[in-house]
Amino acid sequence: MRSLWTMGLLSAVSCSSWTAFSASTLTIDVTVHWEGRELLAPNLDALERLRKAFPDIPVTHFVNPTYFLDETKAAGNVLAMHKIFAAHDEVGLYLVPMEPLVKKAGVILKLEPTFWGYLDEGELCRDDCGLDVPLTVYTREETLKLLAVAQRTLHAAGFTALKSFTVRGWMGAPYITELAAAFGYRFEMTPVDPGLVTPKLGEFPISAWVQQSWSVLARADAATVQKLSTHHPTVRAVPQRGGIVELNDPQEILARFDRQVKEERTDEVFTLALSAESAFLSWPKLRAILKSLQERAKKQKVTLHFATVSGAKNSRPTAANVSISTRLSQHAEAAD
């Protein structure tokens, strides 16, 4: 399974042909991942406080279309999100093989392996089935059907200007990127620095998967990176490097920022990821981090450019050859 997605993440390595606005400007992406679980009032309230406290910071909302597959909850979920989404925010696809999406696509649901290991003998899934199963256990044809239903569902919910996507559990693959490109996606935020994941999740399989993929990135030579940068660069990757609020302490995230500034790596986007389903607990941390980043930038004479994923001028081309016909998406629509 690991070999399916390691090649697709080579693009996260820095490339000299892509530069930021200036030597003293650093781009920051704040993203909220709407996982697909039940939307609870405390978490929604916390996200509203985020928008009110930082009204000028654009946020990318990666939305799981599962929210809109239950007709009894779809309208309420759309309304709840619109109360939070600002006009300058961006909505992207959060691709998660949860049971409602998989069944809607006419695909057989897979329950293992999960990011945490295999199920115990006789263990049954009762809630949010498929949420913790990597998308890479599904075939190319199955993923094509999942993408078709996911996009149509988001469009029906009113989210039609979709440019970016990410895959649950940082589990990307070249064929997933290629298929997403056929549906019109041009920015991907799946790759992650394992340093953000392994300290807290080191005992689980997901840690080894993330580590292996990133080690491939670190070994890529300049010639390989240049080739990837010029080979049909229609989809660009924005690797997650700054911090995952649920997993990383503020001091760790701020230390990463200081190192990036000191090393003048202004060609890399500094990302901050937050889960909507745990926003109540994470919001105080994020608020403190954002304020500290602004204070640090002022002292270090660095200009912060807050942007959505598709607005990050220094994102990276991905490795996958995405110069393919959009008839793929049309085929998927017909097959559904």
| pLDDT tens sequence across 293-322 | 999 999 999 999 999 998 865 443 333 322
* DSSP-derived secondary structure letter, 70: S
- Write down the residue that tokens 């503020």 correspond to: 250
> Per residue in 170-219, pLDDT tens?
888 888 888 999 899 999 999 899 999 988 887 888 888 887 766 554 55
What is the average pLDDT across 162-175?
A: 90
Q: How many Å apart are CA 198 and CA 225, to the nearest integer?
A: 26
Percent of the chain with pLDDT over 70: 78
Mean pLDDT of the chain: 81
How would residue 229 be classed by pLDDT, with cut points 50, 70 and 90? Answer: very low
Tell me which CATH homologous superfamily contains domain 2-335. Answer: Glycoside hydrolase/deacetylase (3.20.20.370)
What is the average pLDDT across 51-75?
A: 95
Strand partners, 273: 31, 244
pLDDT at 172: 84
How would residue 156 be classed by pLDDT, with cut points 50, 70 and 90? Answer: very high
Q: Under 8 Å CB-to-CB from 328, ≥6 apart: which residues?
A: 144, 179, 182, 183
Closest CA to 198 of 190, 208, 213: 208
pLDDT of residue 224 exceeding 90, the answer is: no
Phi-psi label, residue 294: left if phi above 0, alpha if psi -120 to 50, beta otherwise? alpha
Q: Which amino acid is at 31?
A: T
pLDDT at 64: 97
What is the average pLDDT across 71-90?
A: 94
Strand partners, 188: 165, 237
Strands 316-317 and 236-237 come out as antiparallel
> Per residue in 6-46, pLDDT tens?
334 333 333 333 333 445 889 999 999 999 999 999 999 99
Residue 230 CB burial class (10 angstroms; 0-12, 13-18, ≥19) = exposed
Q: How many Å apart are CA 238 and CA 63, to the nearest integer?
A: 17
pLDDT at 23: 52
Q: Under 8 Å CB-to-CB from 197, ≥6 apart: which residues?
A: 170, 206, 207, 210, 244, 247
pLDDT at 77: 95
Q: How many Å apart are CA 159 and CA 110, to the nearest integer?
A: 28
Residue 65, preceding peptide bond in cis (omega within 30° of 0): no
What is the average pLDDT across 58-65?
A: 97
